[in-house]
Amino acid sequence: MAGDDAVPGGPIEHPAYGVVRPVTDTASVLLADNPGKMTLDGTNSWLLGAPGSRERIVVDPGPRTRAHIDRIVDAADVPLVLITHRHHDHTGGIPRIARLTGAPVRALNPKYCRGGEPLRDGEVIEAAGVRLTVVTTPGHTADSVSLVLDDAVVTGDTILGRGTTVIDSRDGTLGDYLASLDRLSDVGEGKRLLPGHGPDGADTAEAARAYRVHRQQRLDQVRGALETLGADASPLAVVKLVYADIDKRLWPAARQSVKAQLDYLRS
């Protein structure tokens, strides 16, 4: 595994492509080179294992990119692969990493499992010298999970290292998402935030509470927009009013979140 001396002049900082960046005693990250408006700097593949060992649980192998998967396999012996949710930038690498390592792949959604059972809420997993607990955190997607370690929480896209999370209009709901933030506030106190995109954070519970405050502020803005536009206003009309200050290229993502907010308010 790469250490702090891998980059001359000091520790490795986010974003760092092509190198394994240590974050805690048991968690390191390899950032996929797939930056974009929905992936921020790229997808974080988390490598979890005891200090001094090459064995690492891989959380989210990332996109279907040969070079990224090969770097993971070169960096670690992989006994297990875990998936936080179904989006392709987290799951595209499943076939290659499963073939190269022979490791079972486990996700909440059976579609993404390879040689392993679906994950279960509250399940405790011990592998590669670490112990983690599976916590279902739906909202971003229906199949989102977070993984709670002794000193950190891997949150997938439920909480990001910067910016806000989009509620997927296909199966995500704001009600579920707010409940998941409350759950992460409970289990993440004093534990480092290991997100699916963006830099790691100091405290998962603090980030969850900040996310909830932001969501409530957005809900208040949407309520105000409906007073201006009318109760039957479309998601796009609300986006144009509430999100007028953001890059229009992000409006499609904002529209998904506004649709979730409108569904929440109208229900």
Q: What CATH number does residue 65 fall under? A: 3.60.15.10
Instruction: Give a yes or no: residue 182 inside a domain.
Output: yes
Q: Which residues contact 66 (CB under 8 A, 6 or more apart)?
A: 96
In a domain, 214, yes or no: no
pLDDT tens digits, residue range 146-175?
999 999 999 999 999 998 899 998 899 999
Residue 95 in any domain: the answer is: yes
DSSP string, 100-166: HH---EE-SSGGG-BSSPPP-TT-EEEETTEEEEEEE--SSSTT-EEEE-SSEEEEETSS-SSS---
Tokens of 168: 């997927």
H/E segment holding residue 89: helix 88-91
Letter for the amino acid at 128?
A: A
Q: Does residue 84 lie within any of the structural domains?
A: yes
Q: Is residue 224 part of a domain?
A: no
| pLDDT mean over 205-230 | 94
Q: How many CA atoms lie within 13 A of 179 on its CB side?
A: 14
Residue 215 located in a structural domain = no
Domain annotation covers residue 183? yes
Q: Does a structural domain hold residue 212?
A: no
Total structural domains within the chain: 1
Three-class DSSP category at 195: strand
Q: What percent of the chain is modeled with pLDDT above 90?
A: 84
On the CB side of 156, CA atoms within 13 Å amount to 35
Dihedral of CA 73/77/78/84: which sign? negative
pLDDT of 3: 34
Question: pLDDT at position 253, please?
Answer: 82
Alpha-carbon gap, residue 127 to 254, rounded angstroms = 38
Strand, helix or coil for residue 242: helix
pLDDT of 122 reads: 98
pLDDT digits (tens, 9 = 90+) for 85-129: 999 999 999 999 999 999 999 999 999 999 999 999 999 999 999
pLDDT in tens, 24-78: 999 999 999 999 988 999 999 999 999 999 999 999 999 999 999 999 999 999 9
Q: Give residue 97's domain range.
A: 4-203
